[in-house]
Structure 1
Amino acid sequence: MTLRLGDIAPDFTQQSTIGEIRFHEWAGPHWVVLFSHPADFTPVCTTELGKTAKLAGEFARRNVKPLAVSVDPLESHQQWIQDINDTQSTTVNFPILADADRKVAELYDMIHPNSLANATVRSVFIIDPEKKIRLTLTYPASTGRNFTEILRVIDSLQLTDSHKVATPADWQEGDEVVIVPSLQDPEEIARRFPQGYRAIRPYLRLTPQPNRQ
């Protein structure tokens, strides 16, 4: 099954380190970062889950719930969490799905046989409160994810959902943003962007980030 941007994220029921999760019900009115791991007790995965735990405040501030996936069983997850907490000096505070039957991995196409025959690759799905998939990323097993980038994308999505703007290359919170080309009415532009804008080209108009007055 190929999942594309804008698709409804498939619902599922699966066991996790906090008990059974009915995905859509568990997600509720929140954004979700669903991300998979090749295996428990692996070095890169250990650093990634530790980083996710340390970013709990950043995720909460953005109304985001992290949810990890591994095809290893629940008992293995529980033992691994102790290692993560110890080696990464943190406390894992989000659920890890025990996807031993690969239900979720197959539903979200997380197993790529030409890369890893029996384990999930490092997939990332950002899912909005309407359960729509807003971003997909796939990393090779050898490369740990950039969580700064994941947070940056969430910031961009939440900003551009609320204002008629897009974010340019390498945009960071507080930088100028792009007024979308479809917005042409001068009165609406003045109302939406009271700080004004600068037109580098008719189609390239930069304005201060509108939710940072």
Structure 2
Amino acid sequence: MENIVSLPRLNEAAPAFDAVTTHGRKTLESYKGKWLILFSHPADFTPVCTTEFMAFQARKPQFDALNCELLGLSIDSHHSHNAWVLNIKEKFGVDIEFPIIADLDMKVAKAYGMVHPGAADTSAVRATFIIDPVGKLRAMMYYPMSNGRSMDEFVRLVTAMQTSDAHACATPEAWQPGDKVIVPPAATVEEAKARMASKEFECVDFYFCKKSI
């Protein structure tokens, strides 16, 4: 079949890349030991993308606190990216402090499944990939070209995944720091009985227990 978009898969190694950016050449290895949000946008000098870049920049201190780097991408030249960054500073007073990949040959976009023929053959959709410090793809989200993303959700999601990693737990819908987390189901009947009787856990039933961390 033609025009099938090949997508990377969760919990597998993120596709490697070696690309020119507004901050010089970057590779996936450049981000080893850090979380990374790699996100694509359809084109420079477009209004929705401009709002997204300013929103990512506004939350950069929060991402920095999470040891999480930001890396943009579109199928534009680095000259276009540089001019757009300068334009955002001139028109909106916002310094874009994270790099943007110039992906004219679409190598990175195709490796990550950012080009969807149903939307456009030569532009990337609004794709977002969260990669952990060992280079494993942990989350990915796609948005239509017409609608911007919520950066607050990406802050929340990175925080939630880091919490799950640190405490071997899951997080419920709309979890925020300070909320109770979901503990893994009990492995044995005896463990289930003990958990139901324990004051450490808030259990609705043996398979559904929360606790504070």
TM-score (norm 1): 0.90
Three-state SS of the structure 2 residue aligned to 1:15 is strand
Q: 1:2 to 1:199 in 2, by over 3 A?
A: same
1:62 deviation in Å?
0.2
> Which residues of 2 match residues 163-182 of structure 1 at below 5 A?
163-182=167-186
1:183 deviation in Å?
5.6
> Which residues of 2 match residues 150-189 of structure 1 at below 5 A?
150-182=154-186
Letter in 2 for 1:50: M
Distance 2:187 2:164 in 1: 13
- Which of 17, 21, 31 in structure 2 is aligned with 1:16? 21
The count of corresponding residues between Structure 1 and Structure 2 is 204
Q: 1:94 to 1:180 in 2, by over 3 A?
A: same
> Which residues of 2 match residues 49-198 of structure 1 at below 5 A?
49-182=53-186, 196-198=200-202
Q: 1:201 to 1:86 in 2, by over 3 A?
A: farther
Letter in 1 for 2:146: S
**Residue number in structure 2 paired with 1:4:** 9
Gaps of 5+ in 1: none
Letter in 1 for 2:116: H
1:206 deviation in Å?
1.3
Three-state SS of the structure 2 residue aligned to 1:129 is coil
Three-state SS of the structure 2 residue aligned to 1:165 is coil
Letter in 1 for 2:21: S
Contact in 1 for aligned 2:128/2:140 (Cα 8 Å): yes
Distance 1:64 1:195 in 2: 36
TM-score (norm 2): 0.90
1:88 deviation in Å?
3.8
User: What do residues 73-110 of structure 1 show as CA deviations (whole Å, max 9, x unaligned)?
Assistant: 01111110022223443211100001111111111111
Distance 1:89 1:200 in 2: 51
Gaps of 5+ in 2: 1-5
Three-state SS of the structure 2 residue aligned to 1:53 is helix
Distance 1:156 1:14 in 2: 30
> Which residues of 2 match residues 6-45 of structure 1 at below 5 A?
6-24=11-29, 26-45=30-49
CA RMSD, 1 decimal: 1.9
**Residue number in structure 1 paired with 2:3:** none
Q: Which one is further off, 28-37 or 77-86?
A: 77-86
Contact in 1 for aligned 2:17/2:27 (Cα 8 Å): yes
Contact in 2 for aligned 1:47/1:88 (Cα 8 Å): no
1:133 deviation in Å?
0.4
1:23 deviation in Å?
2.2
Q: How many percent of aligned residue pairs carry the same amino acid?
A: 36
